[in-house]
């Protein structure tokens, strides 16, 4: 098949089948995320919107590589502190990329391995760049992800040819690139470059996709040359790793190109270890049972008190060294996981305006709802002000009961019209409510009544936020997560 015939067929199949993701949207989203200065809370909100991703993040943080940080990691917020916002950002980007194939991949068994390689290759690039202190690591990760688009395009639109390419690589000492040239008449770089141009990617990224001859002693004269080289080498390393190659074989492959890429052997070793941790996490997640929490039938979450106390212990262990903006997401997420909330959010008092504003929220639709969740500090006879006056968390079993419904403020009902059972836990300092944590179970009633021990544990978590505020601003009395 000639190169022109191949691309004519590829674009035609994409137009006919219409099930490949809109890559322009994906890339725009990738650059938007990479260029954002995300806080722990904002990153946690993004991760917690995807259950599968949140489990991967927690599992990775508990892997052998990161256990030296001390203590089991039970929340995404703590995992982000352990792994770093940048690492979680790149993992999230990889998962977001895979999400575009949801509903399509199950029809193509080959897709699972190809998608796994995308994540691992991106992690290798990120880790290599980070270990060397290279500021352009984000661009390199994007190039690696887009470089792998060529493989995904073949998996989805030329499945028989892709099987032949993999069979040739398994039977002969050749790369996928070489096999693709023999089977299709085009290289993986040819496909990546054409796709980059078709989807109008930034010029630097598209230029980095151009075919290049790479050898261990190649000289890289431009930034695009380096981007292309690290994407290519990381991809080959990912293929080796996913094919159950030993860590030593992956390190050998990378070390053979280390000088060309400007890397040290130590950089390679760190990168391979991190990528192997991610690879193992992906494999484990495919067969892992659901995380403990709510019962399979949607009943009361199990071990509520135990998990509240475990979360409290984790918050107390780490809290003294955290800012309020780092501590608050941990407390909010601990409450959400232990009580199986559908949605939850944190409201903080702005002393200048004397208004409470929702600053952080987890659960379906919370990101969009946050701007509307605000009320004045002065007294109004509604549940939020009653909660602010209460010495303990306030539990409302049915907000639609005739006696309770008039106490639900309009601003709240407009934002969350279906919430039936609600928990409101005040954070107090010097007998003044400075924050509120809210949680609900959606349109269903709360799974079961909470006893005094659970309420006490929730209240203790609120006291940790108050202690964090006091540490941050002992004289002003109030601080807000940024």
pLDDT at 100: 54
Residue 482 lies in a domain: no
pLDDT tens-digit map of 272-285 = 887 887 777 666 65
Residue 480 lies in a domain: no
Same-domain status, 278 and 319: no
> What SS3 class is residue 438?
strand
Domain CATH for 416: 3.30.450.40
Rounded CA separation 478/307 (Å)? 29
Residue 368 lies in a domain: yes
Q: Which residue has the tokens 């260029």?
A: 35
Neighbouring-strand partners of residue 433: 428
Half-sphere exposure of 42 (CA within 13 A, CB side): 10
For residue 224, the enclosing domain spans 3-287
pLDDT tens-digit map of 21-31 = 544 445 455 55
pLDDT at 180: 92
Same-domain status, 276 and 318: no
Mean pLDDT, range 252-279, rounded to an integer: 83
Token pair for 313: 């212990």
Question: Is residue 71 a contact partner of residue 316, using CB atoms and an 8 Å limit?
Answer: no
Residue 321 lies in a domain: yes
pLDDT tens-digit map of 205-219 = 777 877 677 776 778
- For the question of whether the overall pTM of this predicted structure is more than 0.75, the answer is no
Domain CATH for 40: 1.10.3210.10
Same-domain status, 273 and 404: no
Same-domain status, 137 and 178: yes
Same-domain status, 312 and 370: yes
Task: Give the H/E segment covering residue 344.
Answer: strand 343-350
Residue 479 lies in a domain: no
Same-domain status, 64 and 138: yes
Residue 293 lies in a domain: no
Q: Which of 328, 453, 64, 30 is nearest to 205 (CA)?
A: 30
Same-domain status, 91 and 212: yes
Mean pLDDT, range 405-413, rounded to an integer: 95
Q: Which of 348, 358, 353 is nearest to 473 (CA)?
A: 348
Identify the domain boundary among 287, 321, 343.
Answer: 287
Q: How many residues does the chain have?
A: 482
Rounded CA separation 330/308 (Å)? 12
Radius of gyration from C-alpha coordinates of the chain? 25
Same-domain status, 137 and 77: yes
Number of structural domains the chain divides into: 2
Q: Looking at per-residue confidence, does 479 or 474 come out higher?
A: 474
Same-domain status, 245 and 141: yes
Does the pLDDT of residue 478 top 80, yes or no?
no
Token pair for 406: 């008039």
Same-domain status, 164 and 245: yes
Residue 37 lies in a domain: yes
Same-domain status, 95 and 240: yes
Mean pLDDT, range 135-149, rounded to an integer: 73
Same-domain status, 50 and 136: yes
Mean pLDDT, range 334-360, rounded to an integer: 91
Helix axes 188-198, 3-17, angle to 10 degrees: 50
Question: Is residue 190 a contact partner of residue 10, using CB atoms and an 8 Å limit?
Answer: no
Question: Is residue 119 a contact partner of residue 98, using CB atoms and an 8 Å limit?
Answer: yes
Q: Looking at per-residue confidence, does 474 or 76 come out higher?
A: 76
Rounded CA separation 266/261 (Å)? 13
C-alpha distances out from residue 36 to 32, 276, 342, 433, Å: 6, 27, 27, 32
Residue 170 lies in a domain: yes
């Amino acid at each position: 098949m000639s190169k022109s015939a191949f691309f004519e067929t590829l674009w035609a199949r994409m137009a006919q089948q219409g099930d490949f993701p809109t890559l322009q949207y994906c890339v725009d989203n990738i650059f938007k995320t990479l260029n954002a200065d995300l806080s722990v809370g904002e990153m946690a909100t993004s991760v917690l919107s995807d259950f599968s991703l949140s489990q991967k993040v927690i599992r990775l943080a508990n892997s052998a590589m990161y256990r030296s940080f001390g203590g089991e990691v039970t929340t995404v917020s703590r995992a982000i502190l352990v792994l770093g916002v940048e690492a979680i950002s790149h993992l999230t980007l990889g998962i977001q990329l895979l999400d575009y194939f949801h509903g399509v991949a199950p029809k193509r068994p080959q897709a699972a391995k190809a998608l796994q390689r995308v994540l691992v290759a991106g992690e290798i690039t990120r880790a290599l760049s980070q270990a060397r202190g290279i500021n352009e690591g984000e661009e390199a990760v994007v190039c690696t992800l887009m470089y792998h688009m060529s493989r995904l395009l073949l998996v989805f639109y030329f499945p028989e040819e892709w099987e032949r390419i993999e069979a040739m690589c398994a039977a002969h000492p050749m790369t996928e690139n070489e096999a693709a040239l023999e089977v299709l008449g085009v290289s993986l770089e040819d496909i990546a470059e054409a796709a980059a141009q078709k989807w109008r990617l930034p010029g630097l990224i598209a230029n980095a996709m151009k075919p290049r001859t790479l050898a261990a002693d190649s000289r890289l004269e431009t930034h695009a040359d380096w981007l292309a080289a690290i994407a290519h080498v990381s991809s080959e390393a990912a293929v080796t790793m996913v094919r159950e190659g030993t860590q030593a074989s992956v390190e050998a492959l990378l070390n053979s190109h280390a000088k060309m890429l400007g890397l040290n052997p130590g950089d390679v070793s760190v990168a391979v270890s991190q990528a192997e941790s991610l690879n193992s996490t992906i494999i484990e997640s495919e067969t892992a049972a659901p995380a403990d929490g709510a019962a399979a039938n949607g009943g009361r979450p199990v071990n509520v008190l135990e998990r509240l106390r475990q979360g409290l212990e984790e918050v107390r262990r780490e809290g003294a060294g955290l800012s309020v903006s780092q501590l608050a997401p941990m407390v909010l997420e601990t409450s959400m996981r232990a009580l199986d909330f559908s949605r939850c959010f944190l409201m903080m008092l702005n002393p200048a305006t004397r208004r409470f504003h929702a600053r952080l929220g987890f659960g379906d639709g919370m990101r969009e709802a946050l701007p509307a969740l605000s009320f004045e500090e002065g007294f109004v006879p509604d549940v939020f002000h009653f909660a602010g006056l209460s010495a303990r968390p306030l539990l409302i079993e049915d907000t639609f009961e005739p006696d309770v419904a008039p106490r639900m403020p309009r601003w709240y009902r407009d934002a969350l019209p279906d919430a039936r059972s609600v928990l409101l836990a005040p954070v107090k300092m010097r007998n003044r409510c400075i924050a509120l944590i809210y949680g609900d179970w959606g349109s269903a009633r709360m799974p079961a009544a909470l006893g005094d021990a659970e309420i006490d544990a929730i209240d203790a978590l609120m006291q940790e936020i108050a202690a964090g505020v006091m540490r941050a601003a002992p004289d002003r009395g109030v601080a807000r997560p940024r």
